[in-house]
Amino acid sequence: EFEQYLRGRSKDEREALREREREWREYLKERRKAYKEEAQATPYERREFEQYLRGRSQVEPEDASGGDGGWQEYLKQRNKAYKAQSEATREELGDYARYLRERNQQEHDRRWRAFLDARQQGYKPYARATEREREEFEEYRRETLRGPAGSDRSGDQGRWGGFETPRNGACFFTDADYGGNRLCMEVGERMEYVGDGYNDRISSVRIYGRARVTLYHDSNFRGSERRVTSDAPGLEGFNDRTSSIEVR
């Protein structure tokens, strides 16, 4: 009956309905709830489901050049040669979907633990959180994702512009001449992946103290590299090519 109903809808409407049904099933599975139709959900479940959808959209990878930033990261993690997502096999698409779910769940768990730490609360699983705690957590996550001055922190690590500049470390900027958003690191810190907000976007580096920086073209400190030991207002030959960083 549902398939007959779908045939009476446009292609976009059919895809949207199927996607929402898939999200609804994942929501129930994550909350360890028995399946029931979304139309039978309680008002609380409806509100919680909408929060769940908003949370997923905040950590889903995006890419300004065409929306396949998460796909490129997936290929790097699986050590696969690049190919367009449209050329992927059914098995690869299934594996990619699992990869995104695992990544989103890991990011959710990391933020949940940070939320509990910030409130000096002992750990408990998110599934056991009260409605008030879930609402506070959603507000906390929105604030941390926004970052200072409206910048988008999604997927990034380290300290952002507006926080204390390191005495002995380096700051990395998305524009030449130390402009745009910045990411700062102390000596001894390493980032195996700089996050979607900075991947292939770093254009200048400012050095503090006696720090030495190595920029890598690929994640996990692989690929071609560029060493920086003094302020670099531009990265000729390595502009917008950094995926991982070491600061020594």
Name the helix (H) or strand (E) containing 175: strand 169-175
Whether the pLDDT of residue 110 is over 90: the answer is no
Alpha-carbon span 170 to 188, nearest angstrom:
11
Residue with tokens 């009956």: 1
Tens of pLDDT, residue by residue over 114-172, are 888 877 778 888 778 888 888 888 777 666 554 444 344 334 444 433 345 778 889 89
Alpha-carbon span 118 to 112, nearest angstrom:
10
Which residue segments constitute the domains of the chain, with CATH numbers given? 65-146 (no CATH), 159-247 (2.60.20.10)
Q: What is the pLDDT of residue 150?
A: 39
67-90 mean pLDDT: 78
Whether the pLDDT of residue 233 is over 90: the answer is yes
CB 113 within 8 A of CB 140: no
The length of the chain is: 248
CB 162 within 8 A of CB 148: yes
For 74-119, give the DSSP string. HHHHTT-----GGG--HHHHHHHHHHHHHHHHHHHHHHHHHHHHHT
Sort 138 into a burial class: Cβ within 10 Å, 0-12 / 13-18 / 19+: middle
Q: What is the pLDDT of residue 162?
A: 35
Average pLDDT for the chain: 77
Alpha-carbon span 65 to 237, nearest angstrom:
21
Q: Count CA atoms within 13 Å of residue 108 on its CB side.
A: 21
Q: Across the strands, what pairs with 206? A: 171
List the alpha helices (DSSP H) in the chain: 2-7, 11-30, 43-59, 69-77, 90-118, 131-146
Q: What is the pLDDT of residue 154?
A: 39
